């Protein structure tokens, strides 16, 4: 249980203050936690600060106090990066395949005449996008939780999936519908979805935003067919970034990141929610590092644009910059020190969810 408290710190300017609560650990339920660091929001310049703690029992890292479920929407500003992606043909959101200008560059006869350029391009680009599995059967159904403006839904559709999305924010959900996708503007707990009807459920960089991630993972299990697949990604707190970057750590300076998972803590939560982990992939990107440098620059040189430019890159990275950073990203992933991980899991065959993950359906 979490204890709600009042505070005068508004997350954004305006008459409606954020209400704050001091939660128990989302992984083990313990209320005993030790202070780690307090950070300001340099990304969107929201007022106040975020206090990060570590559970004394299981070592899970989380934010406490945190905005309550009914007031956290004030933290998602109009310029919140993941909600501003434009799916016009000339853009390149996180989960959309290479944009037309990239393909035109690659097909240029002069460029193609350079020996080895095709192999180099594919090596640099490999692993930079969210994976898209093949549908196991005809008319296989996929659900994306936190679908944003629909970039990954479009990739699933092109691969042959029947797609559906959940997006809590109104503007990106509207843009999804304009593209023809069926999208629920609600949390997964309140969406009217048929149990055991999906072959794939995905959630890219979503679980860290949740007040009760265990309950949502249980709901995802409930929605999957027995042989279905869950694919999620979360920031990885158990790498060098927290130790070296400290209060400038990009993922900590986001007050909507309520949970900070390690491989151990997210694995434990998945097991308690009725899942068996199939694989863990250390993502080949260094956006956290770029964002952290941007935060440091913004804190040290607030009147300069350098920091904001690097932070903007994290939301809409250019093709050339992605290619230039690819060798470093691959090296960090190879030694399992990447700041983001992708996990593939399946419903447990040995344990029924009602026996392993609490009372939520």
Give residue 112's pLDDT band: very low, low, confident or very high (50, 70, 90): low
Residues with Cβ within 8 Å of 84's Cβ and at least 6 positions away in sequence, in order, are 315
Give yes or no for a contact between 141 and 221, defined as CB atoms under 8 angstroms apart.
Answer: no
- The CATH number of the domain covering residues in 87-237+262-356: 3.40.50.150
What pLDDT, on the 0 to 100 scale, is given for residue 70? 87
pLDDT score of 10 more than 50: no
Residue spans of the domains in the chain: they are 87-237+262-356
Rounded CA-CA distance 62/21 in Å is 13
- pTM of the predicted model, to two decimals? 0.84
What pLDDT, on the 0 to 100 scale, is given for residue 335? 96
Rounded CA-CA distance 107/118 in Å is 10
For residue 166, which phi and psi values (nearest 5 degrees)? -125, 125
For residue 243, which phi and psi values (nearest 5 degrees)? -65, -35
Higher pLDDT, 96 or 301: 301
Give yes or no for a contact between 334 and 140, defined as CB atoms under 8 angstroms apart.
Answer: no
Higher pLDDT, 74 or 70: 70
What pLDDT, on the 0 to 100 scale, is given for residue 108? 67
For residue 109, which phi and psi values (nearest 5 degrees)? -60, -35
Neighbours of 237 (CB within 10 A): 27
What pLDDT, on the 0 to 100 scale, is given for residue 239? 94
Rounded CA-CA distance 22/118 in Å is 53
Higher pLDDT, 153 or 14: 153
What pLDDT, on the 0 to 100 scale, is given for residue 319? 82
Query: What is the Cα 356 distance to its own chain's centre?
Result: 25
Buried b (16+ CB within 10 A) or exposed e, 275-298: beeeeebbbbbbbbbbbbbbbbbb
Torsion of CA 172, 177, 181, 185, to 10 degrees: 60
Mean pLDDT: which of 176-185, 268-277, 320-329, 344-353 is highest? 268-277
What pLDDT, on the 0 to 100 scale, is given for residue 17? 74
Q: Give 75-134 as a 3 state SS string.
A: HCCCCCHHHCCCCCCCCCCCCCCCCHHHHHHHHCHHHHCCCCHHHHHHHHHCCCCCCCCC
What pLDDT, on the 0 to 100 scale, is given for residue 188? 87
What pLDDT, on the 0 to 100 scale, is given for residue 106? 57
What pLDDT, on the 0 to 100 scale, is given for residue 49? 83
What pLDDT, on the 0 to 100 scale, is given for residue 86? 47
Return the residue matching tokens 């399992």: 336
Mean pLDDT: which of 102-106, 167-171, 330-334 is highest? 330-334
What pLDDT, on the 0 to 100 scale, is given for residue 360? 34
Peptide bond into 65 cis (omega under 30): yes
pLDDT in tens, 309-337: 999 888 888 888 888 999 999 999 999 99
Give yes or no for a contact between 23 and 33, defined as CB atoms under 8 angstroms apart.
Answer: no
By three-state DSSP, how is residue 219 classified?
A: helix
What pLDDT, on the 0 to 100 scale, is given for residue 262? 97
Count CA atoms within 13 Å of residue 323 on its CB side: 13
The residue among 10, 17, 70 whose CA lies nearest residue 45 is 10
Higher pLDDT, 71 or 164: 164
Signed CA dihedral, 209, 196, 273, 214: sign only: positive
Determine which helix (DSSP H) or strand (DSSP E) holds 347, and give its type and residue range: strand 340-347
What pLDDT, on the 0 to 100 scale, is given for residue 48? 74
Rounded CA-CA distance 192/313 in Å is 36
pLDDT score of 142 more than 90: yes
What pLDDT, on the 0 to 100 scale, is given for residue 47? 72
- The residue-averaged pLDDT of 31-54 equals 88
Signed CA dihedral, 309, 315, 321, 327: sign only: positive
What pLDDT, on the 0 to 100 scale, is given for residue 6? 37
Question: For residue 204, what are the β-bridge partners?
Answer: 233
DSSP symbols for 291-344: HHHHHHHHHH-TTSSHHHHHHHHHHS--HHHHHHHHHHHHHHHHTT--SEEEEE
């Amino acid at each position: 249980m979490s204890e709600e408290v009042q505070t005068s710190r508004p997350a954004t300017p305006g008459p409606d203050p954020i209400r704050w609560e001091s939660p128990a650990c989302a992984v083990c339920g313990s209320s005993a936690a030790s202070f780690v660091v307090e950070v300001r929001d340099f990304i969107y310049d929201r007022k106040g600060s975020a206090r990060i703690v570590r559970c004394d029992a299981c070592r899970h890292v989380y934010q406490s106090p945190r905005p309550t479920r009914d007031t956290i929407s004030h933290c998602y500003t109009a310029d919140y990066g993941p909600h501003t992606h434009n799916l016009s043909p000339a853009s390149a959101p996180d989960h959309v395949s290479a944009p037309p200008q990239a393909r035109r560059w690659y097909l240029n006869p002069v460029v193609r005449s350079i020996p080895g350029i095709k192999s180099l391009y594919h090596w640099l680009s490999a692993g930079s996008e969210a994976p898209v599995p093949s549908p196991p059967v005809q008319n296989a159904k996929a659900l994306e939780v936190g679908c944003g403006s629909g970039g990954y839904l479009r990739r699933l559709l092109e691969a042959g999936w029947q797609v559906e999305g959940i997006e809590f924010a109104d503007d990106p959900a509207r843009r999804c519908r304009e593209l023809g996708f069926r999208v629920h503007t609600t949390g997964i707990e309140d969406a009217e979805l048929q149990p055991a009807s999906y072959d794939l459920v995905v959630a890219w960089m979503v679980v860290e935003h949740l007040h009760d991630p265990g309950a949502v993972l249980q709901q995802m299990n409930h929605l999957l067919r027995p042989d279905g697949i869950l694919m999620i990604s979360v920031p990885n707190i158990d790498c060098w970034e927290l130790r070296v970057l400290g209060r400038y750590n990009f993922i900590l300076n986001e007050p909507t990141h309520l949970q900070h998972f390690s491989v151990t803590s997210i694995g434990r939560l998945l097991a308690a929610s009725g899942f068996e982990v199939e694989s863990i992939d250390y993502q080949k990107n260094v956006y956290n590092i770029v964002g952290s440098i941007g935060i440091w620059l913004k804190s040290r040189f607030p009147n300069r644009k350098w920091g904001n430019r690097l932070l903007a890159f994290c939301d809409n990275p250019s093709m050339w910059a992605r290619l230039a950073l690819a060798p470093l990203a691959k090296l960090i992933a190879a030694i399992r020190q990447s700041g983001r991980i992708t996990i593939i899991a399946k419903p447990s065959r040995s344990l029924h969810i009602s026996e392993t993950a609490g009372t939520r359906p």
